[in-house]
Amino acid sequence: MEYFSLWNGKINDTSDQAAYNAFVDRYYELETEAYRRILEACPEGRVWSGAAAELQDALGFDGDMVIFAGFLDGIRESLRQPIPLEEMTDETLISLDIDYEKLLYNMHKAGARWLYGLEAWDLVFDAEKREEIGRRFRRENIARRDEMRVGRNEPCPCGSGKKYKNCHGRPGAVLDGEEGS
């Protein structure tokens, strides 16, 4: 089963807007729960590893390997070792050795306030460290963001692969440092 290909197909198919919105809402719900579990296990220094099917179950994806593939795509820039996402099967051994500082930075980069605002981050970094990472992100990206004008049908700058209008361009969604649309 090519979970990553299925993920890309689903996340890019907006032909049925209601189905697409339901899929994305479910993704955000499962993603948030997975990050909560990961962050709560951080003080013990846990490296999440195992067969893909077992790992997705442990992180709360309820057997949804397609959404789990999307989650792995989102986290892979924050991992110390690459994962074979394009070839992933249920039996593929995966190790999520997370660089938590990079993860928090990348959440700012994606404009994912619902993730970088999780209370479980208190278990990983103190408030001063979290604020320092947020300031570093804003400082490194302020000029680019000031100049950025994204068209509705252009790819979203958060890197999701979705059109801006279906991602951070929807009402109420904001990229870090911007006002809502």
Least confident piece of the model among 65-69, 85-89, 134-138, 174-178: 174-178
- Confidence (pLDDT) at 45: 79
- The pTM for the full model equals 0.76
Q: Can you read off the two tokens belonging to residue 71?
A: 């989650």
Contacts of residue 145, Cβ cutoff 8 Å, sequence gap at least 6: 175, 176, 177, 178
CA angle 134, 135, 141 (to 5 degrees): 90
* Residue closest to 93 by CA, chosen among 25, 47, 33, 158: 47
Q: pLDDT at residue 179 above 70?
A: no
pLDDT single digits (tens) 39-54? 999 887 789 999 999 9
| Dihedral sign of CA atoms 137, 99, 23, 155 in order | positive
pLDDT single digits (tens) 40-98? 998 877 899 999 999 999 999 999 999 999 999 999 999 999 999 999 999 999 999 99
Residue 65 amino acid letter: M
- Confidence (pLDDT) at 146: 42
CA 97 to CA 41: how far, in whole Å? Answer: 12
Write the DSSP string, 74-139: HHGGGBSS---GGG--TT-EEEE-B-HHHHHHHHHHTT-HHHHT-GGGGGTS-HHHHHHHHHHHHH
Whole-number mean pLDDT of the chain? 88
Phi, psi (rounded to 5 degrees) for 34: -65, -45
pLDDT single digits (tens) 19-41? 999 999 999 999 999 999 999 99
- Confidence (pLDDT) at 158: 81
